[in-house]
Amino acid sequence: MNKNNNNSIIHGHTYIVNPNLGHPIILDIKSELKKNRYQTSLLFATDMVEPVEFEKHIKNKITFVPILEERWKLKSLLSKLKVDKKEKKSFKKKIKRSKHAEKSLFRELKPLAFRGAHISTKILQIDKAEIRQINDPNFDEYLSPQKYLNTHHVYRYSDIFYKVTIEFELTKEILKFLKHRNFIMFDIIDETHEEPRINYHALVISKQKWKNFSFVQATDLHVARRNDKIYEIIKKWKKVFRGDYLDALLKDQEQEGKQEKKKLFRPLEAHKPLKKRFINPNNQFRRFIKMINKKVLKNEIDFIALTGDLIDFSILSKIPKELRLFDYDHSNWKVFKNIVLNLPQKKRKGMKGGEELLCPIFTIPGNHDYRPFHYDIRWAGMYRKMGLKAFEALALNDKLVALPISAIIKSEKSLIGYWSEINPSLDYFLKLGKSNFIFLNTGSDSFKNISDFLTGHPSLTGLKNKQISYLENLISNKIQQGDNTFLFLHGPVINPKKKIGLFKRIKQKFGKKILTRIDEFKESMLKKLGKQISNIRIDKKFNVKYGTVSSNWEKLVEFCKDHCVLTMTGHTHTLKEFRLGNPENKKSLVLDAPPFSLKKIVNPAAIFYDTYSEIFTNAKDIKQFGPFVVQTPALGLGGYRSPRLVGAYREIKVKHGKLSSFKVNYMHREYYKIL
């Protein structure tokens, strides 16, 4: 099977809309692996009005392909060869290795994916699928097409949707694989095209009972093709410009460093060579995939939630204007997908080798995913997040020049490649056992809170009224008492400024000691000092709505407080963790959108701050002191203050049906020293 998917959308064809790579459907395995016939439903887009014509067109053209793994194949082969004693003796003599050497081979062997035999499908029923808004009580996360798919012609003029129920049977090969693995993924192949169109990793069959399981949240990947070009560009530039010219640039850099605000940026490890300093977000993602694959082989993970800023911007940095049409082939969405699938890419200096991800992913977009055009990495000192020096960032200017105005443009069209190739759903719900998983889109950059944007912490547009109605419908119809509800967002729900505002500092000036920084308000520290609970709350002292979601903020906070055990966000590239309590009769107020609006809105929760994932490490304490709202540091890029604080992910564990751990880990041990 050819993995190079032809993604050009041609009028007159059908397209499988849902499920897809970033929104797979999970089916539970039937008891004891005996009943191996399954049914599922797929959402199609087409231009065929008549269901009979459509059915004829797709009949015998939809197949499933299981994704297997080389280590399992080799282990199965070795087991088969060892059945017969003579074969066993001959085999050992031939390869000349001990049992210890055999184990060593398995450790060194990369977890490579390969495709099994195609599985044919049988069409059971075809029905028209109506466009439904998410606030419609009859909305279906997989089978209700969204209006934006037609508005933006994601499937060109295939704007008629069908729900197709199909049946398929598991092969002996798959059943053998499931004896060793917790789940198996499938590609869904649409052979109605000249070159088959593939929805990769779109179907999952799992053995999980969803009482004891683990998943990982990672955020802010910032994948872009230019990331793989930067190291090579700088190295070539340094070879060309040597001697006096480079010395002059270094002097300019020193002068620039003096003028920069020292309080904003920490000094780089200037003595290290570029190879050890440069942080390539694409390489971070490749390393992450390799790490996750090792967990998959040990049955230690069930899925991944990627919470926004999957790419840095949509359209490739250096392409002719006539190709800037938001199509998938000329977008960073293709780069993202190629890394996930480890499809062939042009090899450049500094690029790490990859592997195909062997774990299902669920995705939501972030504000960067709405940005069409690239930005100059010198702006606001962005180059420091990548471990670069000022003069090295200058080397990129001629090759990857950016316009200030275009760099802050936002457009829904930037998501066309995302909708067509990765995930057609912006908001969706998933129920696995007694655990609920809610994925919500917090939108693009918001200029409503302009002060947040100008200080480098842009707010996001937030939740629309229909999203709030969607949450209300979930409360009424799907969320049950005793459930674990996990909420995933890109934009933070709570984000205090680093310091208390000026007026509040003046108000406290007569105290014995003025606490002004957020890190001085950790709950565990203040309790040891004997502070009352009302004095430990940070919402009474800090602006907790700094660079957060703009619209419906208070309703979102209330939902997190009343219905969630854990809310996971990203966006800030920092580690911050909060717990929510009942404010009783002492609710605080926050400014809605300063400086243009001085309207104050009521905060419905008492908010406390600490590193709770390190403090509460068992289900009993987590239940007693929760719920929690957390920000996970970025996988792809560090923060301004800690550019080396990168490669983060949060591992969530559920034991006996209860949340028992939600710690942050880092891919490299050296990053722990920064914390």
Residue 583 pLDDT > 70: yes
Task: Verify that 304 and 200 share a domain, yes or no.
Answer: no
Q: What digits encode the pLDDT tens for the residues 138-174? A: 999 999 999 999 999 999 889 999 999 999 999 999 9
Sign of the C-alpha dihedral, residues 146, 150, 156, 157?
positive
Model's pTM, two decimal places? 0.89
pLDDT in tens, 199-257: 999 999 999 999 999 999 999 999 999 999 999 988 888 777 655 555 555 555 555 55
Q: How far apart are CA 469 and CA 473, in angstroms?
A: 6
What does the alpha-carbon distance between residue 161 and residue 45 come to, in Å, rounded to a whole number? Answer: 5
Residue 470 belongs to a domain: yes
Residue 456 has pLDDT above 60, yes or no: no
Does 165 lie in the same domain as 313?
Answer: no
Q: Determine the pLDDT at residue 648.
A: 96
Whether the per-residue pLDDT at 675 is higher than 50: the answer is: no
> How high does pLDDT run on average in the chain?
84
Both 504 and 613 in one domain: the answer is yes
509: phi then psi, degrees, rounded to nearest 5: -60, -20
Which pair of structure tokens corresponds to residue 189?
A: 């192949």
Residues 191, 309 within the same domain: no
Pairing status of strand 183-190 against strand 62-69 = antiparallel
Q: Give the SS3 label for residue 567.
A: strand
Cα separations in angstroms, 6 against 54, 197, 199, 392, 417: 22, 7, 12, 37, 13
179 shares its domain with 318: no
Residue type, 363: T
Assign 328 a pLDDT band (cuts: 50, 70, 90): confident
Question: For residues 184 and 78, which has the higher predicted lDDT (pLDDT)?
Answer: 184
The average pLDDT across 107-111 equals: 63
Structure tokens at 201: 């990793």
User: Percentage of residues in the chain with pLDDT exceeding 70?
Assistant: 78
Given a cut of 50, is residue 265 above it in pLDDT? no
pLDDT for the residue numbered 531: 83
CA distance 353 to 247: 35
Chain centre distance of CA 429: 16
Which pLDDT does position 645 carry in this prediction?
Answer: 80
Is pLDDT at 353 greater than 70 in this prediction? yes
Whether the upstream peptide bond of residue 627 has omega within 30° of 0, thus cis, is: yes
Q: What is the pLDDT of residue 448?
A: 67
Q: Is the pLDDT of residue 672 over 80?
A: no
Query: Cα–Cα distance between 187 and 167 in angstroms, integer?
Result: 15
- Domain of 598, in residue numbers: 218-224+280-674
Residues 521 and 623 in one domain: yes
pLDDT average, residue stretch 328-332: 90
Lowest mean pLDDT segment, chosen from 33-47, 126-140, 253-267, 392-406: 253-267
CA dist 425 and 58 (Å) reads 23
Q: State pLDDT tens for residues 281-304.
A: 999 999 999 999 999 999 999 999
Peptide bond into 595 cis (omega under 30): yes
Q: Average pLDDT in the 101-111 region?
A: 58
2 within some domain: no
Query: What was the pLDDT predicted at 410?
Result: 85
Which of 173-177, 313-317, 381-385 is predicted most confidently?
A: 173-177
What pLDDT score was predicted for residue 500?
A: 63
For residue 569, the one-letter residue type is T
Average pLDDT for residues 478-489, to the nearest whole number? Answer: 96
Average pLDDT of span 527-551 = 87
Q: In the predicted model, what is the mean pLDDT of residues 65-79?
A: 83
Number of domains in the chain: 2
Q: Look at 250 and 360; give whichever has higher pLDDT.
A: 360
Instruction: Please report how the helices 227-240 and 281-297 are oriented relative to each other, as an axis angle in degrees rounded to 10.
Output: 130
pLDDT at residue 516 greater than cutoff 70: no
**More confident call, 83 vs 388:** 388
Tell me, yes or no, whether 259 lies in a domain.
no
Q: What percent of the chain is predicted at pLDDT more than 90?
A: 57
Q: Predicted confidence band at 488 (pLDDT cuts at 50, 70, 90)?
A: very high
Shared-domain flag, residues 139 and 284: no
Q: How confident is the model at residue 71 (pLDDT cuts 50, 70, 90)?
A: confident
Residue range 499-508: average pLDDT?
Answer: 52
Q: Name, in order, each residue with C-beta under 8 angstroms of 173's C-beta and a sequence gap of 6 or more.
A: 66, 68, 116, 117
3-state secondary structure of 437: strand
Q: Give residue 243's region: left, alpha or beta (phi > 0; psi -120 to 50).
A: left
Confirm whether 265 is domain-assigned: no
Q: Do 180 and 314 reside in the same domain of the chain?
A: no
Tell me: pLDDT of 474 over 60: yes
Q: Of residues 603 and 318, which shows the higher confidence score?
A: 603
Domain finish residue from 207, 234, 255: 207
Amino acid at 642: S
- The total of other beta-carbon atoms located within 10 Å of residue 621's CB is 13
pLDDT at 10: 44
Output the domain CATH number for residue 534.
Answer: 3.60.21
426 and 513 together in one domain:
yes
> Is there a single domain that holds both residue 291 and residue 188?
no
Residue 508 has pLDDT above 60, yes or no: no
Query: Could you tell me which residue, 547 or 495, shows the higher pLDDT?
Result: 495
Residue 237 included in any domain: no
User: Do 194 and 297 fall into the same domain?
Assistant: no
The verdict on residue 236 lying in a domain is no
Place of tokens 């499931």: 178
Q: Are 120 and 168 in contact (CB under 8 A)?
A: yes
Rounded Cα–Cα distance for residues 487 and 659 (Å): 13
In a domain, 261, yes or no: no
Which range is most confident: 5-19, 31-45, 59-73, 523-537?
A: 59-73
Highest mean pLDDT among 84-98, 285-299, 583-597: 285-299
Map residue 436 onto helix, strand or coil: strand
Last residue of a domain, which of 179, 207, 235?
207
At residue 458, does pLDDT exceed 50? yes
Residue 370 and residue 517 share a domain:
yes
Does residue 342 come out as left (phi exceeding 0), alpha (psi in the -120 to 50 range) or beta? left
Q: Which of 207, 234, 268 delimits the end of a domain?
A: 207
The pLDDT of residue 95 is above 60:
no
Q: Is the pLDDT of residue 90 over 60?
A: no
pLDDT at 290: 96
Higher per-residue pLDDT: 106 or 286: 286
6 is a domain residue: no
- Give the pLDDT of residue 590: 84
Mean pLDDT within 405-423: 88
Mean pLDDT, residues 188-207 taken together: 95
